[in-house]
């Protein structure tokens, strides 16, 4: 069995091939540098870049897998959520290839793909989680705590009521004058700063939901007030600001994750999404699991950001259930829309 995965939900064009048991044969990613000068992803430019990249990327993925395209068993593609123009490129390409090869098409939810990324096997003995597990999904668009009972049965038990964790990183980084996306820059700077140098607001909301808007405002006010006294404040305190911001975000994320562990009694905890590449987040989850005797699944960094290997593995699970997608399927920008 060979499943081709195609990912084009935002600004990475990616294709991957997975075989029996979830063994990864190839994973090719073309990132788009065109957005850097705009300080964020420009949807129209993203769609155009996907159009240019998709053929060579899919070709390379099949070639690197060492197979002929006629051996593919199914085409899995990200149907949403994401940027609609970007999704249309991957969806239309998947339809064309699936019709041309006369193999079924499997639609994949991008967020579920992040959650299932832990089943990608780079070698036959890669350890994978057992169901049920808790997944902290933290990216540029989402912050969720999910109970994963099976590949097809996931329940979101906590979500952000305003910004996502990645947005908190990126928006605060932007006001510090750091390039987009700011998350990785904060991560790098934080390693040289003092996490206790500044204290930013933590939200007080019940249950398992997240909120990052108060933290963002408190970060902004700290900069504004200090810049009045010293115009070089940001320059001088860069590392301390980054370390304190990162510590606040981690603190917020971990409080609810621990609460979710207490409430569900689930003993396996995984993380996923772009923000799970953050060194502090990775350490905090590993420490919490070690302290509480839980099993931790921390993905390799290359599987934290958008990639087609996770789409292929999510498609693989649906393929096993013969859960195929009709040709009149259209992409969706948002869940339920």
Q: Can residue 163 be called a binding residue for ligand KG4 (CB under 6 A)? A: no
Q: Can residue 141 be called a binding residue for ligand KG4 (CB under 6 A)? A: yes
**Residue 335: what are its φ and ψ, rounded to 5°?**
-60, 130
Element (H, E) at 334: none
How far is 192 from 241, CA to CA, in rounded Å? 10
**Which one of 18-26, 226-234, 274-282, 314-322 is the stretch in contact with ligand KG4 (CB under 6 A)?**
274-282
Contact between residue 30 and residue 14 where contact means Cβ atoms under 8 Å apart: yes
**One residue of 81, 140, 158, 315 binding ligand KG4 per CB under 6 A:** 140
Q: Can residue 184 be called a binding residue for ligand KG4 (CB under 6 A)? A: yes
Minimum CB separation from ligand KG4 for residue 105, in Å? 24
The size of the interface with ligand KG4 (CB under 6 A), counted in residues, is 19
Restricting to residues 214-273, which ones interact with ligand KG4 according to CB under 6 A? 273
Could you tell me how far CA 89 lies from the centroid of its own chain?
20
Q: Can residue 81 be called a binding residue for ligand KG4 (CB under 6 A)? A: no
Q: Can residue 107 be called a binding residue for ligand KG4 (CB under 6 A)? A: no
Question: Which of 246, 239, 238, 301 is closest to 272 using CA atoms?
Answer: 301
Minimum CB separation from ligand KG4 for residue 98, in Å? 26
Contact between residue 165 and residue 248 where contact means Cβ atoms under 8 Å apart: no
Strands (E), the chain: 2-7, 12-19, 23-31, 74-80, 105-109, 133-138, 143-150, 153-159, 268-272, 295-297
Restricting to residues 142-161, which ones interact with ligand KG4 according to CB under 6 A? none
Q: Please, what sign has the CA dihedral across residues 152, 156, 157, 158?
A: positive
Provide the mask over 276-315, with x wherever binding to ligand KG4 is found by CB under 6 A and - wherever it is not. Answer: -xx--------------------------xx---------
**One residue of 151, 275, 311, 313 binding ligand KG4 per CB under 6 A:** 275
Tell me the residue nearest to ligand KG4 as measured from the CB: 274
């Amino acid at each position: 069995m060979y499943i081709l995965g195609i990912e084009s939900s935002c600004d990475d064009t990616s294709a991957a091939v997975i075989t029996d048991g979830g063994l990864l044969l190839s994973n090719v990613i073309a990132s788009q540098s065109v957005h850097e000068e705009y300080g964020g992803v420009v949807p129209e430019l993203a769609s155009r870049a996907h159009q240019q990249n998709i053929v060579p990327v899919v070709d390379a993925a099949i070639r690197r897998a060492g197979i002929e395209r006629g051996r593919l068993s199914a085409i899995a593609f990200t149907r949403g959520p994401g940027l609609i123009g970007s999704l249309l490129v991957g969806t239309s390409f998947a339809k064309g290839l699936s019709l041309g090869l006369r193999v079924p098409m499997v639609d994949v939810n991008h967020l579920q793909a992040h959650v299932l990324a832990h089943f990608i096997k780079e070698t036959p003995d890669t350890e994978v989680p057992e169901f049920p597990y808790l997944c902290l999904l933290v990216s540029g668009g989402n912050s969720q705590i999910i109970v994963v009972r099976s590949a097809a049965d996931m329940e979101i038990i906590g979500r952000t009521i305003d910004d996502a964790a990645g947005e908190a990183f990126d928006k605060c980084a932007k006001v510090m004058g750091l390039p987009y996306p700011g998350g990785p820059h904060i991560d790098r700077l934080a390693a040289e700063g003092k996490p206790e140098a500044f204290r930013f607001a933590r939200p007080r909301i019940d249950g398992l939901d997240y909120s990052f808007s108060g933290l963002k405002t408190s970060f902004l006010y700290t900069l504004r007030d200090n810049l009045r006294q010293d115009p070089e404040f940001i320059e001088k305190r860069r590392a301390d600001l980054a370390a304190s911001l990162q510590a606040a975000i981690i603190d917020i994320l971990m409080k609810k994750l621990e609460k979710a562990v207490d409430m569900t009694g689930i003993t396996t905890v995984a993380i996923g999404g772009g923000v799970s590449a953050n060194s502090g987040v990775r350490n905090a989850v590993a420490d919490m699991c070690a302290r509480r005797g839980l099993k931790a699944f921390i993905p390799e960094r290359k599987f934290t950001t958008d990639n087609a290997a996770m789409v292929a593995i999510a498609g693989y699970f649906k393929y096993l259930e013969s859960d195929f997608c009709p040709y009149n399927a259209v992409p969706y920008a948002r869940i339920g829309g």
